[in-house]
Amino acid sequence: MFRELYFYLRHNKMTAFLLTCQISLYLVLLGTFMAFTSEIHYGKSNLENIYENKAIYHLLDGYFDPDEFSNFRDRSDALEILKEYYHELDSASSFQYLAMFNQDISIDAKEVAVNSYSESTDDVEHINVRSFQMNLQAHDYFMLDVSEGRAFVSNDFEDKNGILPVLLGNSFADYYKVGDEISVSFYQQEITLSVVGILSENSLLYFNGDPEFYLDDYFILPYVNYAPPETEYEEERQEIIYFSMINGYISIPEGDGEFTRVMMAEVEAISQKTGFDNYLFIGSNPNTQPYRGLINVMNANYNLVKTIFILSFVINAIVISLILFFEQKKRLPAFAIHYLHGASISILAKRLISEVLLIMLLSYALSQIILSSVLNINSIVPQITLFFTVVVLAVVVSILPISNIVRKPLVVFLNNEEGSM
């Protein structure tokens, strides 16, 4: 049978080549659509889990006047007030406190190969890279997932004497691996970052009014519960860090206003308890409209792509099926000759379907190479679905020719000389 398949491909190489190319493109289109559909549904589900029926408020300190800011920091208990205020917010009962802030950090250029991510390369000794700091509640709230290593755990938010765990945005996956250590300047202090994980591609969260703030190009650092400072310099440094930590976001369930009143009452109680009474809120529910608009855009894009895909799917399926069907029908006179020379009906049927299946499997292999190597689509679900598709398609287009072999006397096909090998 293998020898006969070889001769079949040899005498029909152009037809087989064109069929393989067309079926491969058809499978690539199907696999791409499946991956796109999965990504759309995942994105919608993720956004709905994060934002649906929730309100997010921006909580800021009120020290906009430089003199008032300096007067507060001159107090001997300024750091203790900031720490207590933050910890009370972080452990509040009526809301979730999401401490988040973005800024550049400076990396030693000698040990880094990330120039494409720096915003400034004027200094030959250091490179500026974007960083994003967050507390554990923000990390868990936005359900950040990793493609390598692990996500943050509660222990990562404790002071470890100059060593910080770091999650890297997916854009850095080709430059670092889990376990690498990176020397950086963070708030004017040299510390070591230990890579614990690489974020999944297109990881996002809500930040500064943007519900689609992507973290691919960021170093993600934990907001640490710092130990008491041992020097005046360290005390001043911690004050600056804690000021950024108390400028965060508050999330509550969306309702009739009762959740808002309870939340604001607890923030005021925390303010009175800790002595930090200069704060303000921005926005009543800033995430709702951007979130709904984003979902509408995703739905519109999905519907457009689905319509185009269905039309292409139907046209390609019909064309491929007709080509395969007529190609196999042309083979019936040749099969009749083999039958007269002693080949059984079952052998002829197996040969017919094997010729179709060989082309389909070659197409499947080529499509997988394109999807994996070119389009970076490696999900197991499209692989299984496409394999099942080629097998079913091979069987379907072979049913009628095989039924002709079984039902009709094969000698009737000998009159069609054009079908002979």
User: Percentage of residues in the chain with pLDDT exceeding 70?
Assistant: 72
Q: Specify the range with the lowest mean pLDDT, choosing from 58-62, 103-107, 289-293.
A: 289-293
Compute the mean pLDDT over every residue in the chain, rounded to the nearest whole number.
Answer: 80
- 133-159 pLDDT, tens digit each: 999 999 999 989 999 999 999 999 998
- 344-383 pLDDT, tens digit each: 667 767 777 777 788 888 889 998 998 888 887 777 877 8
User: Percentage of residues in the chain with pLDDT exceeding 90?
Assistant: 36
pLDDT value of position 267: 94
Q: Is the pLDDT of residue 277 over 60?
A: yes
Neighbours of 16 (CB within 10 A): 18
DSSP H or E stretch at residue 193:
strand 190-199
Cα–Cα distances (Å) from 250 to 73, 87, 100, 209, 282, in that order, read 25, 14, 11, 13, 10
For residues 242 and 421, which has the higher predicted lDDT (pLDDT)?
242
- 242-275 pLDDT, tens digit each: 999 999 999 988 776 788 889 999 999 999 999 9
Contact 291, 213 (CB under 8 A): no
pTM comes to: 0.62
Contact 270, 89 (CB under 8 A): yes
Give the DSSP per-residue string, 195-236: EEEEEPTT-EEEETTEEEEE-TT-EEEE--BPPPPSSHHHHH
Q: Is the pLDDT of residue 401 over 70?
A: no
Q: Specify the range with the lowest mean pLDDT, choosing from 210-214, 388-392, 401-405.
A: 401-405
Q: How confident is the model at residue 418 (pLDDT cuts 50, 70, 90)?
A: very low
Helix (H, G, I), strand (E, B) or coil at 217: coil
Contact 127, 118 (CB under 8 A): yes
DSSP H or E stretch at residue 385:
helix 380-407
Beta bridge partners of 181: 194
Helix (H, G, I), strand (E, B) or coil at 189: coil
- 10-44 pLDDT, tens digit each: 666 777 788 788 888 888 888 887 777 766 655 55
